[in-house]
Structure 1
Amino acid sequence: MKPRFGRTELLEPQVRALRAAVKIEWFTLVFLAVAITMVYLVMGNSQAMKAAWIEDLLSLAPPIAFLVAVRIVNRPPTAKYPYGLHRAVGVAHLVSGVALFAMGVFLVVDSATGLISAEHPPIGSIVLFGEPVWLGWVMMIVMALTIPLPIYFGRVKMRLARELHDKVLYADADMNKADWMTAAGSIVGVAGIGLGLWWADAAAALFIAVSILRDGIKNMRAAITDLIDTAATTFDDGKTHPVIIQVNDYLRKLPWADEVGSRVRDQGHVFHIESFIVPKYGRTPTLSQLADAREGCLEVDWKVHDIVLVPIEQLPEEVNGSTRSRPTERHR
Structure 2
Amino acid sequence: MGDIYEDIRKGERGAVISIAAYLVLSAFKLISGTLFASSALIADGFNNLTDIVASTAVLIGLRISRKPPDADHPYGHFRAETVAALLASFIMATVGIQVIVEAVRSLFEGGKAVPDIRSAAVALVCAVAMLGVYVYNKRLAQRINNAALMAAAKDNFSDALVSIGATVGIVGAQFGLPWIDSAAAVVVGLLIMKTAWDIFRDSTYRLTDGFEENRLLDLRSTIARTPGVEAIKDLKARVHGNHVLVDVVVEVDAGITVMEGHRISDSIEERMGKLHNIMNVQVHVEPSAKEARENPS
TM-score higher than 0.5: yes
Return the alpha-carbon distance in structure 1 between the equivalents of residues 51 and 82 of structure 2.
Answer: 18
Return the alpha-carbon distance in structure 1 between the equivalents of residues 264 and 68 of structure 2.
Answer: 23
Gaps of 5+ in 1: 1-7, 124-134, 233-238, 316-327
For the residue of structure 1 that corresponds to 2:274, the secondary structure is coil
Matched, 1:164 2:157: no
Change (3 A) 1:159 1:280: farther
Return the alpha-carbon distance in structure 2 between the equivalents of residues 47 and 240 of structure 1.
Answer: 49
Matched, 1:272 2:245: yes
Amino acid at match of 1:57: L
Q: Deviations over 1:260-301 (max 9, x none)?
A: 363211111111111232335756866634653465367437
Amino acid at match of 2:283: L
| Percentage of identical aligned residues | 19
Match of 2:55 in 1: 63
Task: Answer yes or no: is the 8 Å Cα contact 1:256–1:285 preserved in 2.
Answer: no
Amino acid at match of 2:29: V
Match of 1:253 in 2: 225
1:227 Cα offset (Å): 0.7
Gaps of 5+ in 2: none
For the residue of structure 2 that corresponds to 1:310, the secondary structure is strand
Match of 2:266 in 1: 292
Q: Deviations over 1:158-177 (max 9, x none)?
A: 22111211111112222222
Matched, 1:36 2:26: yes
Match of 1:136 in 2: 116
Match of 1:99 in 2: 91
Change (3 A) 1:257 1:27: same
More helix by share: 2
Match of 2:78 in 1: 86
Match of 1:126 in 2: none
Please give the TM-score of this superposition, normalised by the length of structure 2.
Answer: 0.82
The residue correspondences of 1:94-243 to structure 2 (distance < 5 A) are 94-115=86-107, 117-123=108-114, 135-231=115-211, 241=215
Task: Answer yes or no: is the 8 Å Cα contact 2:85–2:148 preserved in 1.
Answer: yes
1:72 Cα offset (Å): 2.7
Task: Answer yes or no: is the 8 Å Cα contact 2:223–2:268 preserved in 1.
Answer: no
CA RMSD of aligned residues (A): 3.4
For the residue of structure 1 that corresponds to 2:247, the secondary structure is strand
1:331 Cα offset (Å): 9.6
Change (3 A) 1:56 1:49: same
Q: Deviations over 1:210-257 (max 9, x none)?
A: 22211111111111111111115xxxxxx955xx56643443233331
Change (3 A) 1:102 1:184: closer
Task: Answer yes or no: is the 8 Å Cα contact 1:22–1:67 preserved in 2.
Answer: yes
For the residue of structure 1 that corresponds to 2:250, the secondary structure is strand
Task: Answer yes or no: is the 8 Å Cα contact 1:151–1:176 preserved in 2.
Answer: yes
Return the alpha-carbon distance in structure 1 between the equivalents of residues 288 and 125 of structure 2.
Answer: 62
Q: Deviations over 1:106-134 (max 9, x none)?
A: 3323322332x2523224xxxxxxxxxxx
Q: 2:283 aligns with which of 299, 309, 317?
A: 309
Return the alpha-carbon distance in structure 1 between the equivalents of residues 130 and 38 of structure 2.
Answer: 22
Return the alpha-carbon distance in structure 2 between the equivalents of residues 284 and 151 of structure 1.
Answer: 59
1:46 Cα offset (Å): 5.1
Task: Answer yes or no: is the 8 Å Cα contact 1:246–1:300 preserved in 2.
Answer: no
Return the alpha-carbon distance in structure 1 between the equivalents of residues 47 and 277 of structure 2.
Answer: 33
The residue correspondences of 1:38-53 to structure 2 (distance < 5 A) are 38-43=28-33, 48-53=40-45
